[in-house]
A and B are shown apart, each in its own frame.
Chain A
Amino acid sequence: ISDDSSFYGGHGIVGAQVPLGCGIAFAQKYAKEEAVTFAMYGDGAANQGQLFEYICLWDLPSILVCENNHYGMGTADWRAAKSPSYYKRGDYVPGLKVDGMDAFAVKQACKLAKEHALKNGPIILEMDTYRYHGHSMSDPVGAHTFTRDDISGVRQERDPIERIKKLVLSHDLATEKELKDFFINLNIDMEKEIRKEIDDAIAKAKDCPMPEPSELFTNVYVKGFGTESFGADRKEVKAALP
């Protein structure tokens, strides 16, 4: 800046100046300048956000469900957000934090959310849940910080199916033996059934022929007006889009 006034001027895109101001503050911190930046915006620019400010204004009957498993690819939630309380993000949109591993809690929350959304407008449901495995094959070693003990602990205490089993037992709805037999049969039959369904679907998909080359040009538009479209070599491969 030529005259050292540290005034970066105005900006033509409403609302964009806020992260830019944060970037300047970032640079000040990086250089350890002990200085601050004022990023200024009006009530108009405050609505640049596309979510909460807007949907709340029009009372859209939407339920925002945040499935929080505490990891975004390789990055833990506390490394990605100052406040990982996603249910509190809404300001004028109310939010509920729900134990996402408890089937009954989830059911009740959804019932309540639907009633609310239809009557009052948007609501956030943050479903607290757990990721048993890493993100993908390309995770570096040690990316997933949950230990095997952590994981088996969660399976014991919070696994949705285990919990229902415990509830059934503690309310004497069935004996241990009845449950065991039930589960054995259920697991065997259900597992067999599910496995068959999946295997059938895979076989069907694999047997399915690859699409015809003409499929390259289908569904580009609903209404193509007969416009021409081309393959890699436009003199060789072309089609009229219906």
Chain B
Amino acid sequence: MWGILRRSAVDGGGFSASSLRRTRFSLVSARSYAAGSKEMTVRDALNSAIDEEMSADPKVFVMGEEVGQYQGAYKITKGLLEKYGPERVYDTPITEAGFTGIGVGAAYAGLKPVVEFMTFNFSMQAIDHIINSAAKSNYMSAGQINVPIAFRGPNGAAAGVGAQHSQCYAAWYASVPGLKVLAPYSAEDARGLLKAAIRDPDPVVFLENELLYGESFPISEEALDSSFCLPIGKAKIEREGKDVTITTFSKMVGFALKAAEKLAEEGIGAEVINLRSIRPLDRATINASVRKTSRLVTVEEGFPQHGVCAEICASVVEESFSYLDAPVARIAGADVPMPYAANLERLALPQVEDIVRAAKRACYRSK
């Protein structure tokens, strides 16, 4: 990272959190457009979060394929090997079952691994360790063996990577008690939620999105502080509205916000909720919003059956039935393996117009 290189030239290598923050400010303000507004890419947000947590706690280490010498397959761990050395940043062979097992074992013994899956599709090689070795340990050991591990990496569809590289695992992992599952959208989400995940004493599945890595978001001074942390289990209301509630997470938050703009032109006020936390799910915020708007559209990229949307619909029907003025609606990935052809891939993923259409149907305003 440019900031880190600059600091080692100037400071001679002392890495305190506050000096990191000063460099971070000057790096960012060199790129800002308006006076006083700072921007950060999701990639830089994740990198700085891991960097700060490694700096603060020597038990935190990074493990995964190509995370060290290659600087990270998506450059999320760039510069960490140079900064912390090979005893804190481990390049692993290609054996997810092997290194996930070792990571979970290290967590049993009190270390805090940050295990990277090059994509969560490959986590299926290691899913036994994530579920049976990590998620259930605290419960089965009556609290004697907790597992302070974070599993992170890109999740869901990218662009033209085909069926085996495009699945969204939010629903699978979020159905397991003992796991926590987070999904950031903005740079602030990325920083705050990853820091929370690394500090958390339980196993956390941290679902990033490849297409969001390069996107820039405005970021507050508070979020740039090294002690910044977002609470696990709390959703964020990205946009307030009174006519229909749209819940979603990760890349779809951007789509929902665009849909809300289009709906506003037609006089429909959509309230957009960024879930941030899939497990625990913030049912209180979701239900409070639906009780205000009386209509719900849930959106996700993953397969529709038994998905995150299905859980939210069930929750709202259970808790807020008498408040609903229209059937609950799900907009999700198509119920087929992800196609490779670009036009079919587009059809297999939710688009802004799908969200707009569903919201208008919920408001009985279609065609």
Q: Decide whether A and B assemble into one complex.
A: yes
In angstroms, Cα B358 to Cα A28, docked, is: 55
Contact in complex: B109, A24 (CB < 8 Å): yes
Q: Which of B70, B349, B361 contacts A140 (CB 8 A)?
A: B70
From known contacts A80-B94, A232-B354, infer whether A20 and B334 are also in contact, taking CB-CB under 8 Å: no
Give the CA-CA distance A232 to B297 in the complex, in Å. 13
How large, as a class, is the contact surface on chain A?
35 or more
- Residues of chain A with a CB closer than 8 A to B71's CB: 140
A234 near B330: Cβ-Cβ < 8 Å: yes
Task: Decide: A27 and B106 in contact? CB cutoff 8 A.
Answer: yes
Whether A21 lies near B105 (C-beta < 8 A) is yes
A231 touches B94 (CB 8 A): no
Interface centre among B69, B109, B129 (most CB of A within 10 A): B109
Find the residue from A28, A75, A210 having the highest chain B CB count within 10 A: A75
- Does B109 lie within 8 Å of A27, measured CB to CB? yes
- A residues 1-36 in Cβ contact with B at 8 Å: 1-2, 8-9, 11-13, 16, 18-28, 30
Given A2-B144, A27-B109, A30-B87, residue A73 in contact with residue B65 (CB < 8 A):
yes
A172 at the interface (CB under 8 A from B): no
Interface mask (B77-120 → A, CB under 8 Å = 1, otherwise 0): 00000000001000111100110111111111111000000000
A234 to B100, CA, bound (A): 37
Measured between beta carbons, the chain B residues less than 8 angstroms from A27 are 105-106, 108-111
In the bound complex, residues from chain B placing their C-beta under 8 Å from that of A12 are 132
B248: min CB distance to chain A, Å = 13
Which among B92, B141, B361 is the interface contact of A9 at CB below 8 angstroms? B141
Question: Would you give the shortest CB distance from A211 to chain B, in whole angstroms?
Answer: 5
Check A216 for interface membership: any CB of B closer than 8 A: yes
Chain A residues with Cβ below 8 Å from B87 are: 30
> Is residue A242 within 8 Å, beta carbon to beta carbon, of the partner chain?
no
With A16-B128, A210-B342 already in contact, the answer to whether A216 and B348 are too (CB < 8 A) is: yes
Interface string of A129-145 (1 = CB under 8 A from B): 00000000011100100
- Check A19 against B101 for contact (C-beta < 8 Å): yes
Q: Could you mark each residue 67-102 of chain A with 1 if its beta carbon is under 8 Å from any beta carbon of chain B, else 0?
A: 000001111000111000000000000000000000
State whether B347 touches A232 (Cβ < 8 A). yes
* Chain B neighbourhood of A207, CB < 8 A: none
* Interface set, chain B 305-350, CB cutoff 8 A to A: 329-337, 339, 341-344, 347-350
Asked if B357 lies at the interface with its beta carbon under 8 angstroms from chain A, I say: yes
Q: A1-B145, A30-B61, A233-B358 are in contact. Are A220 and B109 (CB under 8 A)?
A: no
Q: Which residues of A contact B263 (CB under 8 A)?
A: none
Q: In this assembly, does B304 line the interface, its C-beta being within 8 Å of a C-beta of chain A?
A: yes
Selected A-B contacts with CB under 8 Å, 17 pairs? A9-B141, A19-B98, A19-B101, A23-B104, A27-B110, A73-B70, A211-B344, A213-B343, A215-B339, A216-B339, A216-B347, A229-B334, A229-B336, A232-B350, A233-B358, A235-B358, A237-B334
* Interface set of B (CB-CB < 8 Å, partner A): 61, 65-66, 69-71, 73, 75, 87, 91-94, 97-98, 100-111, 128-129, 132-133, 141, 144-145, 304, 329-337, 339, 341-344, 347-351, 354, 357-358, 361
6 A-B pairs closest in CB distance: A23-B105, A19-B101, A74-B70, A27-B109, A80-B93, A20-B105
Footprint of B on A, CB under 8 Å?
A: 1-2, 8-9, 11-13, 16, 18-28, 30, 72-75, 79-81, 138-140, 143, 210-211, 213, 215-217, 220, 229-237
Question: Told that A22-B101, A75-B93 touch, could you supply 4 new A-B pairs with CB distance under 8 A?
Answer: A20-B133, A26-B111, A74-B70, A216-B339
